[in-house]
């Protein structure tokens, strides 16, 4: 049966729920929901997602970052943060691992990650590169472990020219720098992770998941594909479909990101009642 995994940068869960996320969640009802930029304490986010096993990593900087995994499957364990980030003052609330119990007794590791946006010439860019480096080491360990794993989130990097509409104008901007893109390349080429969105979409422009609030970026589909699901090869082989729930109009948006959902065909999995 099909297991739907969605990743979404809410831009603040309280605001998103008020503006339309709650209605979307009722319609979509993904089995696993990975959230970024939650910007709320656990006592707010948990009750907003009833009927789910929700785990959260809250930033120590109030109103900033925050990631969560909210699952219809039981969560057997969770782990926060990455090693090797001492001194990066905004790394909290950006990495959360969860182990989900599958019906056949196996575990599925699901990660919600929120990479810094960065800015060339500032300390923020240093934090971003430090975080990407720490991600690389954790991805290496997860791949070596051999379990089925998927890392979902807002990576704030467009990997290839096909992942950004205006790639020529962004070659010297954070999010499309050669050194950032090379790190993602190493995950796929050296560590064996699969970019599930690109594998399912094929060799075409986009499809994008983020559009600036400014100007006509949304209306003209001048976007970036910066929301990812990257999976270990055994799990990626079970990915059968995807969708991006882009709002119909600019004035119906409740985040500058769109939910990105991948369907995985997991033998023996039965969606919970009323799913």
Residue 100's CATH number: 3.60.10.10
> pLDDT tens per residue, the chain (275 residues)?
799 999 999 999 999 999 999 999 999 999 999 999 999 998 888 888 999 999 999 998 888 999 999 999 999 999 999 998 865 554 579 999 999 998 888 899 999 999 999 999 999 999 999 999 999 999 999 999 998 999 999 999 999 999 999 999 999 999 999 999 999 999 999 999 999 999 999 999 999 999 999 999 999 999 999 999 999 999 999 999 999 999 999 999 999 999 999 999 997 777 766 56
Distance CA 25, CA 118 (A): 30
Structure tokens at 173: 């901007």
| Whole-number Å distance between alpha carbons of 113 and 106 | 23
pTM for this structure? 0.96
- The bridge status of strand 95-101 relative to strand 53-57 is unpaired
> Which pLDDT value is given to residue 104?
83
Tokens of 146: 């051999």
- Identify whether 160 is part of a domain: yes
Q: And the tokens for 118?
A: 């960065």
DSSP β-bridge partners for residue 71 = 32, 53
Residue 270 lies in a domain: no
Let me know if 153 is exposed, middle or buried by CB neighbors in 10 A (0-12, 13-18, 19+).
Answer: buried
> Looking at the domain assignment, is residue 202 inside a domain?
yes
Domain membership flag for residue 16: yes
C-alpha span between 180 and 194 (Å, rounded): 17
In a domain, 125, yes or no: yes
Report the alpha-carbon distance of residue 91 to residue 72 in Å, rounded. 28
Task: Please give the sequence-ordered ranges of beta strands (E in DSSP) within 27-144, or none if there are none.
Answer: 32-36, 53-57, 67-71, 75-80, 95-101, 107-114
Give the integer Cα–Cα distance in Å for 199 and 162: 13
Report residue 105 as tokens: 């007794």
Q: Which of 229-242 are b and which e, b meaning 16 or more Cβ less than 10 Å from the residue's Cβ?
A: bbbbeebbebbeeb
Task: Give me the domain span that covers residue 54.
Answer: 2-265
**Half-sphere exposure at residue 5, Cβ-oriented, CA atoms within 13 angstroms:** 30
In this structure, is residue 155 part of a structural domain? yes
Cis, peptide link before residue 207, omega less than 30° from 0: yes
Residue 34, pLDDT score: 98
d(CA 132, CA 187): 10
Structural domains counted in the chain: 1
pLDDT value, residue 91: 53
272 part of a folded domain: no
Which secondary-structure segment (H or E) carries 195? strand 194-195
CB 10 within 8 A of CB 21: yes
Burial class (CB in 10 A: 0-12, 13-18, 19+), 112: buried
Residue 267: what pLDDT? 78
Cα dihedral across residues 248, 252, 258, 261: positive or negative: negative
Domain assignment of residue 275, yes or no: no
pLDDT for the residue 39: 95
pLDDT for the residue numbered 60: 87
DSSP tag of 168: G
Calpha distance 239→199 (Å, rounded): 9
């Amino acid at each position: 049966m099909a297991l739907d995994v969605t990743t979404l940068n809410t831009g603040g869960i309280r605001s998103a729920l008020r503006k339309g996320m709650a209605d979307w969640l009722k319609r979509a009802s993904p089995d696993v929901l990975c959230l970024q930029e939650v910007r709320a304490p656990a006592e707010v986010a948990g009750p907003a997602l009833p009927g789910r096993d929700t785990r959260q990593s809250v930033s120590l900087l109030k109103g900033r970052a925050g990631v969560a995994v909210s699952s219809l499957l039981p969560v057997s364990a969770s782990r926060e943060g990455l090693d090797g980030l001492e001194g990066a003052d905004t790394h909290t609330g950006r990495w959360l691992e969860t182990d989900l119990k599958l019906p056949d007794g196996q575990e599925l590791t699901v990660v919600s990650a929120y990479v810094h946006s960065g800015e060339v010439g500032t300390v923020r860019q240093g934090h971003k590169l430090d975080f990407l480096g720490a991600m690389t080491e954790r991805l290496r360990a997860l791949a070596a472990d051999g379990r089925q794993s998927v890392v979902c989130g807002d990576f704030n990097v467009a990997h290839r020219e096909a992942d950004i509409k205006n790639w020529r104008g962004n070659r010297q901007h954070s999010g499309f720098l050669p050194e950032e893109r090379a790190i993602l390349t190493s995950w796929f080429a050296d560590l064996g992770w699969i970019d599930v969105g690109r594998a399912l979409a094929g060799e075409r422009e986009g499809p994008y998941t983020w559009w600036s609030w400014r100007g006509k970026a949304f209306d003209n589909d001048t976007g970036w594909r910066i929301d990812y699901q990257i999976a270990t090869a055994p799990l990626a082989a079970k990915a059968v479909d995807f969708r991006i729930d882009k709002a119909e109009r600019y004035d119906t948006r409740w985040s500058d990101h769109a939910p990105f959902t991948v369907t995985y065909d997991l033998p023996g999995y039965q969606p919970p009642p009323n799913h």
